[in-house]
A and B are shown apart, each in its own frame.
Chain A
């Protein structure tokens, strides 16, 4: 499998299926793991980084599970391909930024990705569509067990898995759920929700990852604490929180439909209209309009578009994706033109 083959389909997690997928876009769990004694990537020599890649590669090769996955060295990829993997939520910005001695494994359906030599030797990530933290944990737990048979993990009886940053020590787990909360934003209740999340030791950030502003009314919620609770407990707590936020969003949607139905329908249908007809469009405008159309599908105002189509567009309209589709470098205006054309063809069907 090659990166170019990925462009023709999108990840499993964008299917728009799974529990509560009208509000929960996706669930993600990542585990931070390291090899005993060998310095963590930031402190490791070039030789040691290569050694880690070798250990990881041997573990991947030893299991049937990784047979169809692709394994890539970051410094052998061009920057467009690196950006492409970042846009697909398979890789972090940091991983691309320090490309020397770094690698990544990506499974065929993009359910699994493993960054080798990011902040930790291994950053294992599994993504699923909808609210499926428990299912996601099952998958990643199994993968982690497979790897721990081959890799001498850094582990301490009292402190669990040892990581480069003490905020990850213990389970090394971070569960994240991507929520689409347009009604809470429109009814101006979102800040209250975000404050409550912060109080419960969870963090929130935007759709396009760490340090980004929440765009398109997407909010990603993650746990912060990794020591002193079992993985199941951490994820179960999160699940409870997610359930409550989903309920709030549902109520807000109902209230909007009851009190401001025509205003809401107007907003949704105008957004749809612009997306279907624009010939030049920025990514910010696109994301805001897509958010409204997604809401329109979920509340039954728009009936002839699949949610998966909209989910996929959130990924496809990013710069590296547009350039891979066009097979050449595009400047800002060219991208805005290409973006509009991709959207028109996707929504025109």
Chain B
């Protein structure tokens, strides 16, 4: 079988793609496959990655979706999830709780330790302290902890354990709803 892409070399990689519900088969050679995998990595861009990170294991309630919008620029939280880009500086306030955990996931920290604009001091302000505390509490919160474990399980492909964790989370979430 000849490679579908370069039509020269022997096809040794066989791909099945599903695009818009239609299945297509491809047979390509190793070189073209390597090129393709680079392209695919690029297509699976940052936005997807961020969107995936930002709400992992979280079911956004429909009313939340409607509510969460930046009053300054009009960007909705679901837009952010889709494109991975914020609309303006005020979005950071509008989506503050969601972003706190996202930033932590990206950077391993959500406390700025760098410079500040001239004339503006960064005291460990009351707001910052409060936030740090809130984040700490959220982490200790067992539901959050379970979700973190779930994420770890999925990432390391321990799917059986992931299923157990998922069920535990569902039960806890039901309980919370009832309260």
Which residues of A line the B interface, CB within 8 A?
Answer: 34-40, 42-43, 119, 141, 144-145, 148-149, 153-167, 169-171, 173, 211, 225-231, 233
Contact = CB atoms under 8 A, between A and B. Distances in A.
A144 B120 CA distance: 14
B177 interface: no
Interface stretch (B7-15, B123-131, B141-149, B167-175): B123-131
A280 to B, nearest CB: 25
Contacts of A43: 73, 75, 85, 87-88
A157 B125 contact: yes
Nearest to B95: A166
B131 A158 contact: yes
A161 B120 CA distance: 12
> Which of A40, A173, A230 has the most CB atoms of chain B within a 10 A radius of its CB?
A40
Given A42-B85, A227-B109, A166 B114 contact: no
A170 B107 contact: yes
Contacts of A161: 112, 114
Contact of B106 (A153, A166, A171, A233): A166
Nearest to B105: A166
B81 to A, nearest CB: 12
B103 A40 contact: no
Contacts of B123: 157
Contact of B114 (A35, A157, A173): A173
Given A34-B89, A37-B90, A166-B106, A158 B75 contact: no
Contact of A228 (B46, B88, B111, B120): B111
B117 interface: yes
Contact of B92 (A159, A226, A233): A159
B77 to A, nearest CB: 13
A107 B46 CA distance: 32
Given A37-B90, A158-B128, A227-B103, 19 more contacts: A37-B89, A39-B73, A43-B73, A148-B118, A149-B119, A155-B120, A157-B128, A158-B112, A161-B112, A163-B86, A165-B86, A166-B50, A166-B99, A169-B107, A170-B107, A227-B106, A227-B112, A228-B109, A231-B114
A38 B113 contact: no
Nearest to A229: B113
Given A164-B85, A166-B86, A37 B113 contact: no
Secondary structure at chain A's binding surface: helix, strand, loop or mixed? loop
Nearest to B107: A227
Give the size category of B's interface with A.
35 or more
A138 to B, nearest CB: 12
B28 interface: no
B12 to A, nearest CB: 22
Interface string B126-139: 01100110000000
A233 B114 CA distance: 9
B84 interface: yes
Contacts of A233: 113
> Which of B75, B90, B108, B113 has the most CB atoms of chain A within a 10 A radius of its CB?
B113
Nearest to A154: B89
B107 A40 contact: no
B110 interface: yes
B113 A228 contact: yes
B118 A166 contact: no
21 contacts: A34-B89, A37-B89, A38-B88, A40-B88, A148-B117, A148-B118, A148-B119, A156-B92, A157-B123, A157-B128, A158-B112, A158-B125, A159-B103, A162-B89, A165-B85, A166-B50, A169-B107, A171-B115, A229-B109, A230-B113, A233-B113
